[in-house]
Amino acid sequence: MVIKNLLNKNIIKIKFIKIIILIKKNNNKIYITKYINNLINIKILNNKLNNNINIIIYKIYNKNIIIHIIYLYKNNNINNNIKLIIKKNNYINIIEEHIDINKKKKKYINYKLNIIIKKNVKLNYFKIINLNKKSIFINKKNIKIKKKSIFNKYIFLINSKKIKIKNIINLYKNSHININGIYIIKKKIKIYYKIHIIHNKCNSKSYQKYKNIILSNGIIKIITIITILKKSYNSIIYLENNNLCFNKPNLIFTKPQLNIKNKKSNCKHKITINSINKKIYFYLSTRSLNTYKIKKILYIIFINDIINKIKNKIIKKYIYKIIIKKYK
């Protein structure tokens, strides 16, 4: 019933192509919505012996199409390998969403993803981790971005007991990566995020902006390593990490590391840790707003600049609803 509801919901109106992957210990099952007027050329290979799934996207014939990949987790201990290959000359919107079927059970999820982006591709990639409070999610990701390609990545870490993510990203000639992240930390949630971006060739750009919202006690560690090799002249790097504390967190740890081997590059980084300003809080309270509404307004203002960067209105509404629900 869960899968049928996900398949049938709003397909015609918003042109979603849903790829629902029901992940089990020994046998993955894949459900795909019918293609809308054959606007997409895609191949999915499932190896049942080692739980490997290969998704190859050859061509998208309509820029408004959204590929929504939903991972449904049923068993407790899961190890899964996913490979996503995007062929050259494409413009693609992908939502990757991780959901629990049994919300009460503890789960250990080890999820490996390899992404290969060929020449002249623009990929808008939205990752949503929305598991139960008992789940442990471990993600290892390797990404290769070939020349003249742009990768816009949005990460939304909303719910899980422990989230551990390690990324290695390789940039080649005239390739760009833009990473925007919203991390919501609630009671006893632990987030460990490590990313290593390697600028291999000239004229490559990397932009990173993270918004961490600490609603109650939790731990967040963000380690960003950026390596600029000798051949990667005229590279541009920007890193920004903003933290808003509603309550006192157990630990906020940020560590930017720059390994620069080429002097002809431009690097900037910025880190801020803020709590709720008492003057703003007092001003809003005089406007007949209770504490819940005041915090909600500040919460929305803080994340709004990242959500406004999402150009696709359908994706923006979808993600906005999920984030607002999680505030409660």
Q: Output DSSP code: residue 233.
A: T
CA angle 222, 158, 28 (to 5 degrees): 100
Segments making up each domain of the chain, as ranges: 2-277
The reported pLDDT for the residue numbered 153 is 93
The reported pLDDT for the residue numbered 15 is 57
Q: Output DSSP code: residue 135.
A: -
Determine if the pTM surpasses 0.85.
yes
- Determine contact, residues 93/62, Cβ cutoff 8 Å: no
The reported pLDDT for the residue numbered 8 is 44
Residues of the chain short of pLDDT 50, as ranges, are 1-14, 34-37
d(CA 39, CA 91) in angstroms, rounded, equals 12
d(CA 250, CA 8) in angstroms, rounded, equals 43
The reported pLDDT for the residue numbered 327 is 65
Residues contacting residue 226 through CB under 8 Å, at least 6 positions apart: 196, 197, 199, 206, 237, 239, 256, 257, 258, 259, 267
